[in-house]
Structures are given as structure tokens and as C-alpha cells.
Amino acid sequence: MKRIGMLTSGGDCQSLNATMRGVAKALYNIYQDEVEIVGFEDGYKGLIYADYRLMKPQDFSGILTRGGTILGTSRQPFKLMRTPDENGLDKVEAMKHTYRKLKLDCLVVLGGNGSQKTANLLREEGLNIVSLPKTIDNDLWGTDMTFGFQSAVNIATNAIDCIHTTAASHGRVFIVEIMGHKVGWLTLHAGMAGGADIILLPEIPYDIDVVVEAVKARQKTGKRFSIIAVAEGAISKEDAKLTKKELKEKKKTGIVYPSVAYEIGAQITERTGQEVRVTVPGHMQRGGEPCPYDRVLSSRLGAAAARLIEKGEYGYMVAVKDNDLTKVPLEEVAGKLKMVDPQCAMIAEAKAMGICFGD
């Protein structure tokens, strides 16, 4: 009897259930009645505190189109994994104990950057791990695509689409703040798909003067409105030169804005006199049903994970390379971010169309 553990960790996304379904259906197909799947509640927390349930084939029925995760999820910061909990419990030893008590043959981890680091830690501790690349940010190193990304792009794009009509009606500048603290893939794709005039990414520190001039240039050509797609982690050239400590001190003085979008909006109004409105889709970008692309990708990734388990190939993340699936060693993935290259072809093509990146 094969016993496989499964957990979803970190921020949720639309196709976690679809991916778990892919893993489960492939495992049941391979092993028939000779496999048991143990689902851990709320991510690594369930593994730490042995909060789990034995899952049945019917648990994976009807969830292809269901957003969120039937197992629940939580954020367990990697930097605190070696720190005992409030009761002095060694979390790493507790996870290993749960794994061995349940006599698991493998643990399947669906998660983003921090989750992959913990998965690699458990690999280093001797556990059999297979991981799957989950994040709406598409920032995992080693894979061209993560599941959840395209669904989030669709939602963020729709937000920009909806803003276009009201922006045109009122002749305003609208800033749409897109998720992405450290990387700008989601903002870049949604911005281009939604026809944004200005796109500001964490990887390209912006000059507010350049942004303002781009807005003024549109006004001069008779354009009544401008759409700006801003990543949560967008940063000005001035702030990008500061250390984390200096930036923290700077934020203690002067006006405190809810986010960078509101700060940029205030600066544009001050310099142009034009009305600015900020829209923050927020967690809507993580919610709802997965788009068809993600349903297909999740199914493929899940089946590929099951094949790795069948072959006994552990310690890998299933990845997408040139639309084919491959495996990448966890130690190569853990702790690395896939950033937007400011010199990449997509940026160059966007600039060729007149999109301003604030640089």
C-alpha cells in the first residue's frame, strides 16, 4: 500500500484544488486500490500538529472548477521553521515525526517560494518530497509558468477593462494596484492585456517626473484619461537607493499613504491638477474559479507529480519548460525568485507600443 501525504501552503489561488485532483486521479489510476492519500489541514501547520484526514476518491470529485483549497492553507514563515513554537515544540522534528508516524512514502507540497524552501528543508532532513509550483506571482525560479498565475491575470485584466469605461467617461487618471510585492509578472501581463498606458514594476524603479510627463503627454494629444497599472512593490528611484533601514525611517516621517498607488496618485494630482482615483482589486485576484488554461496546466502538473512518485524520483519540483513538463531539483529552486528582466523582449515590445515604465 502506497501512502502519500498532500498539503497546500502559503497564499491560496484558484487552481489548488485542480492540481490536487490531478495528483489524486493519476495516483488512483496508477495504483488502483493500493494507494492512500493523507491530506494535511492548513498547510505545514497540519503536518506540524498532526492535523490530517484520510482522503477518499470522492473528495477529489467536482473540484476541478472550485477555487481555494479543500485542505485549507496557512502561512508558516520559513525563517521561523527552526524556531520552537510558543510551547517549545521543535517544528521540523514534529513534521518529521508526523511523516514517519503515518508511514508516508512521499509528501506532495503545493506552494510558492517560502513553501518550496520548507519543502527543500524537509528533503534535506531525509523525507521524500515532490513539489508543485503554485503562485499567482509566477515568480518561482526554474519554471516558465506557475498554476494560478493566468487566472489572476484574467481577473486583474478584467479590473483594468472595467476601469477603462469610467476613466474615459470622467476624464480621470486611474491607478489599478496589482498584487506583486517583489516581482511584476502579474502587473506586466495584466497591464499589457488591459491596455494600460503606464506600467510600474518592482524591477524597474520609477521616476515620478517621467510618469507625470507621460500623463501630460496624453493630455496634450487630447486623451482625456490615463490608466496606470502599479505593482504593490513598485518603488521610486529615490527609495530604491535607500537601505531597508533608511526606507523604514523615511516612512516614519511625512505623509503615510495606504500604499504606493496612493502616493503616486497624490503626486500626479499635485503636479497636473488632474483627478486621480485608485482601485485595488486585492484578494479578488486570488479568488473565483480557475481559468481553462490553469485547469489544463494543473491537471498536467498533478499527473507529472504522480509519475515521479511512481518512479521513486523524489526531491524535485515539477516545472514547465517551453510548454513541456520537466523536473527541477528542489535545492536549485529554494530561495530563488524569477524576476522580470528590464531588458527582456516583452518590456521592449511594450515600450515599442508607447507604454511608459517610469524609467
Q: Tell me which residues are annotated as active site.
A: 137
Q: Which residues of 230-260 are buried (b: 16+ CB within 10 A; e: fewer)?
A: bbbbbbbeebeeeeeeeeeeeeeeeeeeebb
- The answer for residues whose C-beta is within 8 angstroms of residue 282's C-beta and 6 or more apart is 179
